[in-house]
Amino acid sequence: MDLDVAGVGQSVSTGAVPPGDRIDEVLARAFERASAHREGKVADYIPILQNADPEAFGLCIADVDGGLHELGDTRAPFSIQSISKAFVYALLCDRIGHGRALDVVGVNNTGLPFNSVVAIELNDGHPMNPMVNAGAIAATALMPGETADAQFAAILTGLSRFAGRELTVDEDVYRCEADTNQRNRAIAQLLASYGRITGDPLRAVDVYTRQCSVRVDARDLAVMGATLADGGVNPLTGERVVSAEVSRDTLAALAASGLYERSGEWLFEIGLPGKSGVSGGLVTVAPGKVGVGAYAPPLDSAGNSVRGQIATANVSRALGLNIFASESRFVEGAPR
| Residues annotated within a binding site | 82, 133, 177, 184, 208, 260, 278
Angle between helices 148-163 and 218-229 (to 10 degrees): 80
Closest CA to 73 of 257, 311, 291: 311
Q: Quick count: other Cβ atoms within 10 Å of Cβ 180? A: 14
Q: Can you tell me whether residue 303 is helix, strand or coil?
A: coil
Q: Any residues with CB less than 8 A from the CB of 137 and at least 6 apart, and which?
A: 127, 184, 187, 188, 191, 197, 201, 204, 205, 208
Backbone angles phi, psi at 69, to 5 degrees: -130, 120
User: Which residues fall in the annotated binding site for substrate?
Assistant: 82, 133, 177, 184, 208, 260, 278
Distance of CA 169 to the CA centre of its chain: 18
Residues 6+ apart with CB under 8 A from 279: 43, 49, 52, 78, 79, 80, 81, 297
Residue 84 CA, chain-centre distance (Å), reads 7
